[in-house]
Amino acid sequence: MKVGVVGVGNMGSAILEKLVENPTLLLFVVEKDRKKLSTFLNSPNVSEATVEELKEKADVVIVAVKPQDVVEVLNGLRGFKGVLVSVVAGLSTNKMREITGVEKLVRLMPNLALKVGRGIAAASFQGLSEAEKERILTVLSIFGEIVEIDERLFPAATATIGSGPAFVFVLVEAFLDACVRMGIPFEKAREIVCGVFEGSIALLKGTGEHPAVWKHRITSPAGTTIEGLAVLERSGARGSLIDALYASYLKAKELER
């Protein structure tokens, strides 16, 4: 398959790093900044192109530029006959269709965990047959787990999937600071904290049980855990997290066009 990628920033470069690993793909890259392109041009299956050239050369085009740059890119893709994929926050499939006239559209909200093969992406497909969808999913597998959602839920997916890792990193940092405060050296703290996060998630995924059930199992009467939980509840940490995701959601809704 011939795949074009427009924009090689944080997200676009993560996408390309994964795509180049698949030797069956022929890749065409559009990026204003040649420095960002140069590392990829050493790969045998990658060549540079313009947006207009993608219309002739690519079966699939993945757009990964910032929201403010996307209209210019879409204008250049007017009349493209393949599948148009966008990871751009706020860009609806209606807007993609209105500007380009393309009927086969995929809207995605991925995150950067795709760099380590552990990404998750919300997806909405428009105008693709089941066979076309299956085919495109072989390319989209680089994004990790694909969860198909109703397009009206994309602002929520943007807050949770796109921005969510940033909130998780704040939590991880707080755990690390706490470890260091208690005297655990940073490198050991990192190993321990990552293990705790990974193990907790594995428990949830492995058992399918509600997190409150596991919290209850860990919390013994008059024990150590309830002391910490009482502080968390008093400080409003749970409400702050809900508000943080909701603030991202409202901003994502504002971007929606």
Ligand X SMILES: NC(=O)c1ccc[n+]([C@@H]2O[C@H](COP(=O)([O-])OP(=O)(O)OC[C@H]3O[C@@H](n4cnc5c(N)ncnc54)[C@H](OP(=O)(O)O)[C@@H]3O)[C@@H](O)[C@H]2O)c1
- Round to whole Å and give the CA distance between 228 and 223: 10
- Round to whole Å and give the CA distance between 158 and 214: 28
- Cβ distance to ligand X smaller for residue 96 or 179: 96
Minimum CB distance to ligand X, residue 168 (Å):
12
- Cβ distance to ligand X smaller for residue 46 or 88: 88
**Could you tell me which residues come within 8 angstroms of residue 206 by beta carbon, excluding any fewer than 6 positions away?**
none
User: For residue 61, which phi and psi values (nearest 5 degrees)?
Assistant: -120, 130
- Cβ distance to ligand X smaller for residue 125 or 143: 143
Question: Closest CB to ligand X belongs to which residue?
Answer: 9
Minimum CB distance to ligand X, residue 133 (Å):
21
On the CB side of 185, CA atoms within 13 Å amount to 2
Minimum CB distance to ligand X, residue 222 (Å):
43
Residues in touch with ligand X (CB under 6 A):
6-12, 30-33, 36, 64-67, 69, 72-73, 87-89, 109-112, 162
Minimum CB distance to ligand X, residue 73 (Å):
5
- Cβ distance to ligand X smaller for residue 90 or 179: 90
CB atoms within 10 A of CB 234: 8
- Round to whole Å and give the CA distance between 88 and 158: 10
